Amino acid sequence: MKHLLAIILMAISLPLMGQTNDFTGKITYDYQFQSPETGEDITKKMKKFFGTEKHFFINSENYHAYDEEGTLRQLYQSKTNTYYFRSPNNQQLIAVEAEKRVSEIISVEHSTEKTEVMGRSCHKLVIKTEHDETTYWYNPDISVNPKKFKNHNFGGWSTFMKASNGALPLKFKVEAPNYIWVSEAVAIQEMELSNQDFNILTSRNQNE
């Protein structure tokens, strides 16, 4: 009887051992910008377009992000597959169908090279498009189910999520014609977030 009970318990526990919970919470990133031609620090110049920090909140289906001043910069809702972003020209929120692709993906390359970010060993991934090249560093322990974001083509998010198996970036480096943009996590906080927290009507600027 004891042997039978042990077998039953093992059969139940084995599938659970392979399961991981979606990360729900906040990741804070610091931004740095450089000129690709001179290497000059242009972070202050780029602040009006991107801010200097990103306060990124995500649950299993949605995400939104604020800058260091509490201004809502991004919001994504998987139920409607709608992506909202703030225009750098007039600071108005613009809604787009996230299924749209901004640029063509040329290649996705995994690397054996690893980097530590916040004491976590991170895998390296390089995604090249017709407009830029982005290097991502991610840790599989900080991840969500990529299936929930499979239609989020805008900004190449679905491509990255598929390649990282749902792991969230802890650092990335964008090499574009006009700038080099480095974003690196400085804080990770698990927290409970419901889908209502990502409603466009309630996800307003935190300083309003």
Beta bridge partners of 71: none
Q: What is the CATH number of domain 22-188?
A: 2.50.20
Nearest to 133 by CA among 160, 192, 79, 173: 173
User: What average pLDDT score do residues 112-126 get?
Assistant: 97
Query: Is the pLDDT confidence value at 16 over 60?
Result: no
Two tokens, residue 199: 């409603």
What type of residue is 103?
S
Q: Locate all alpha helices (DSSP H) within the chain, ordered by sequence.
A: 2-17, 43-50, 157-163
User: What average pLDDT score do residues 124-134 get?
Assistant: 97
Residues 18-44: pLDDT tens digits? 445 799 999 999 999 999 999 999 999
Q: For the chain, which residues make up each domain, given as ranges?
A: 22-188
Work out the pLDDT band at 92, boundaries 50, 70, 90.
confident
Nearest-5° Cα angle at 56, 90 to 135 = 90
Residues 42-87: pLDDT tens digits? 999 999 889 999 999 999 999 999 999 999 999 999 999 999 998 8
Distance CA 207, CA 189 (A): 21
Query: Is the pLDDT confidence value at 120 over 60?
Result: yes
Q: What is the separation, in whole angstroms, between the first and last Cα of the chain?
A: 64
Residue 20: what pLDDT?
53
**15 neighbors 8 (Cβ within 8 angstroms):** no
